[in-house]
Structure 1
Amino acid sequence: MSDIRLPSSGFYEAFRRECLTAVRNRSELFNPLIFFLSIIMFVPLGVSPDAKALAPIAPGMIWIVALLALLLSLDKVFQSDYEDGCLEQMLLSGQSMYLVVIAKVLAHWCFTGLLLTLLSPVLGLMMALPGEAYIALMASLLLGTGALSFIGAVGAALTVSLRRGGLLLSLIIIPLYVPVLIFGTSAVRSAALGDPWTGPLAVVAAMCLCAMMLAPLAVVGALKISLEN
């Protein structure tokens, strides 16, 4: 359960509070990582252990599994605060909810997207990803998972008041994830083929920046609507 004490000194306190909450809930913390690792481990068994068969599908497979792993944990971003009434207190306290939302989403990304990014070279090795693509893989996941976390937070805010909002959250968010998936995969695939990959990566970076600036505004509005209902 979340700590009832509210962030009192802006972004840093809100971020610190979310990190402490995530560390306390270790089981929920490792679920996306276990899912990510498990699926990638089963791909060579289900497709073929041959590197020639795995290498072409490695960029897309790693990115798709990373997307699904993030999706698993999205409904927890605001859920605990909603259940214990902390979220309503935040909205009524007069503090900057824009900064609070950014802090919560960044904390979620640090314990999901960042860890997935750090784990990705191991999974790339398991999927026989060419060595030239590892930098592109990590760079695209670093930026792409950030965009996915902020975009996904909008759906999490819209469904926070629903008891079983996971399916609805997926239906809302997955279409918005498609551009990030396309350009993230394209960057890794281009690097694996020896082609220039900074162009698709720049698009992913732009989407990440736009999501970081605009998504918190949508999240604040969605939380107010959810709490009014």
Structure 2
Amino acid sequence: MIALLLRDLRLAVRAGGGFGLGLAFFLIVVTLVPFGVGPEGGVLARIASGVLWLGALLACLLSLDRIFALDYEDGTLDLLVTAPIPLEGAVSMKAAAHWITTGLPLVLAAPVFGVLLHLPAPAYLWLVVSLLLGTPALSVLGTFGAALTVGLKRGGLLLSLLVLPLYVPTLIFGAELVRRGAAGMEVRVPLLMLAGITAATIALVPFASAAAIRVNLRQA
């Protein structure tokens, strides 16, 4: 499993879907928002939590189509299906590799980008906490969308349409956690909801992803 994780990390970086692409897109989103809504600090501070979470969510979408594409093209995915290791475990390792190369850099960079949006000082801790809790769910749900569209030519748009509705609960509770933290309000409910969504996603979605891969390879 560890060897598979390390291999996917190397492939993710070599394929250009690693640290730089997601961070660059995240920075572009955060930089363009003041041009659209105006430079007033009060306005930016009110929408900062939602903008930062939306930027992180969209940045995660960029590399989802590469999760299984390379393995499908070179036949590695067929070997993984017939390997003695559970396919669900292989899917989980691919989700972990995607999070490490895409989600984790976004978590680390988000406080820096928050300065550009005048994010209130009390919100920085909760921004990092919310992204640490929520972005793993984005990667795991992304593997499910990638599994459904594996083998499809130009399936990137379809992948985005499939995955975006699944991202909505994580986006809602993640942004709400930051908003409440910035206002000094009680954060227990959105925190527990976000943690519950991520835990349920990690526990259940790899089985659905593995089943989707088996069906697609059987039809290929």
1:77-156 to structure 2, matched below 5 A, reads: 77-156=67-146
Cα separation, 1, equivalents of 2:86 and 2:159: 25
> By how many angstroms is 1:219 displaced?
0.8
In the TM superposition, residue 45 of structure 1 has moved relative to its aligned partner by 2.1
- CA distance, structure 2, for counterparts of residue 195 and residue 127 of structure 1: 21
Deviation at 1:199, TM superposition (A): 2.0
Which residue does the alignment assign to 2:47?
Answer: 57
TM-score (norm 1): 0.92
* Structure 1 residue ranges (4+ consecutive) displaced by more than 4 angstroms after TM superposition: none
Report the equivalent of 2:153.
163
Higher deviation after alignment, 129-138 or 41-50: 41-50
Question: Do the aligned partners of 2:17 and 2:62 also contact (CA within 8 Å) in 1?
Answer: no
Aligned length: 218
Instruction: Give ranges in structure 1 of 5+ residues lacking alignment.
Output: 1-10
Deviation at 1:133, TM superposition (A): 0.5
Following superposition, the deviation at residue 173 of structure 1 comes to 1.1
CA apart distance, 1:23: 2.9
Of 56, 59, 82 in structure 2, the residue corresponding to residue 69 of structure 1 is 59
Range with greater deviation from structure 2 (41-50 or 180-189): 41-50
Q: How far does the alpha carbon of each residue in 1:131-190 deviate from its partner, in whole angstroms, 9 at most, with x for none?
A: 000111011111111011111111110001101111111221111111111111110010
**Higher mean C-alpha deviation, range 192-201 or range 129-138:** 192-201
Amino acid at match of 1:13: A
RMSD after superposition: 1.1
Q: Equivalents in 2 of 1:197, 1:125: separation in Å?
A: 22
Match of 1:34 among 18, 24, 28: 24
Task: Determine whether 1:182 maps to 2:172.
Answer: yes
Question: What amino acid maps onto 2:103 in structure 1?
Answer: G
Cα pair 2:145 2:163 within 8 Å, conserved: yes
Q: Distance in 2 between matches of 1:44 and 1:172?
A: 30
DSSP-derived class of the 1:203 partner = helix
User: Mind listing any 5+ residue stretches in structure 2 that lack a counterpart?
Assistant: none
1:95: Cα distance to partner? 2.1
Q: Aligned letter for 1:28?
A: G
Question: Among the aligned pairs, what percent are the same residue?
Answer: 45
In 1, distance between residues paired with 2:102 and 2:115? 20
Distance in 2 between residues matched to 1:152 and 1:171, nearest whole Å: 11
Read off the aligned partner of 2:17 and give its amino acid letter.
E
1:222 is the counterpart of 2:212:
yes
Q: What is residue 205 of structure 1 aligned with on the other side?
A: 195
Query: Contact 2:141–2:205 at 8 Å: present in 1 too?
Result: yes
